[in-house]
Amino acid sequence: MVCNVCGANPATIHLTEIINSQMMEIHLCEACAEEKGTDFKTHFNVADLLAGLSEAVGEETAERKVDILICPECGLGYEEFTKNGRLGCGACYDSFSKYLMPLIKRVQRSAQHVGKRPSRIPPEAEARHELKILQEKLKKSVLKEDFEEAASLRDQIKMLQEKPKAAKKAKNG
């Protein structure tokens, strides 16, 4: 889509206004938007978001005198992560987990993945996933003092935990 003002640059800002049940759309490039005085940023930088959030978490932990953390795999320091919002490698998650988990929970609302799963998941992995879900439900029902539900969930958890044991006995036996 091309900018409605200059007609040359690609439109990156799309404004929609509805007045008296009539919709009006304006498409602007970044230069024309700045010229018109709109203060829109077109690029959402996740690294900047993480860096900003890590600063907020960093303020909380600064009071606890944070040790200087450095990833043993890539050498990235936690302080450097707070400045650029990017981790150096997969091991950084483990190295900085104490400070990353509150950050991840704040952004994702959970530290556990609850989205889509592969269609061909191994039965053992499926059982582990189902077990985790049931254990979470059990915790919630106990907190709500819904003990009948908790007892039912407890029984389901026991059955799930006994299935692999029974399968091993049948296989060995």
* pLDDT of the residue at 165: 72
* pLDDT of the residue at 134: 93
Q: Residue 55 — very low, low, confident or very high, per pLDDT cuts 50/70/90?
A: low
* pLDDT of the residue at 60: 47
CA distances from 44 to 13, 47, 66, 82, 105 (A): 13, 9, 30, 18, 20
Q: What is the DSSP letter of 88?
A: S
Same domain, 23 and 66: no
Same domain, 56 and 104: yes
Residue 167 in domain? yes
What is the value of pTM for the model shown? 0.36
* pLDDT of the residue at 20: 77
The HSE-up count of residue 108 (CA atoms within 13 Å, CB side) is 12
Which of 74, 108, 142 terminates a domain? The answer is 108
Residue 1 in domain? yes
For residues 110 and 127, give the distance between their C-alpha atoms in angstroms, rounded to a whole number: 21
CA distances from 25 to 7, 14, 39, 44 (A): 15, 7, 17, 22
pLDDT at 158 over 50: yes
Per-residue pLDDT of 110-145, as tens digits, reads 767 667 767 787 888 888 888 989 999 999 999 999
Instruction: Determine the structural domain holding residue 147 and report its residue range.
Output: 123-172
Helices (H) and strands (E) in the chain, counts: 7, 2
124 conformational bin, left if phi > 0, alpha if psi -120 to 50, beta if neither: alpha
pLDDT at 56 over 60: no
The HSE-up count of residue 55 (CA atoms within 13 Å, CB side) is 8
Residue 113 in domain? no
pLDDT at 72 over 70: yes
* pLDDT of the residue at 51: 56
Residue 117 in domain? no
- The number of folded domains in the chain is 3
Residue 133 in domain? yes
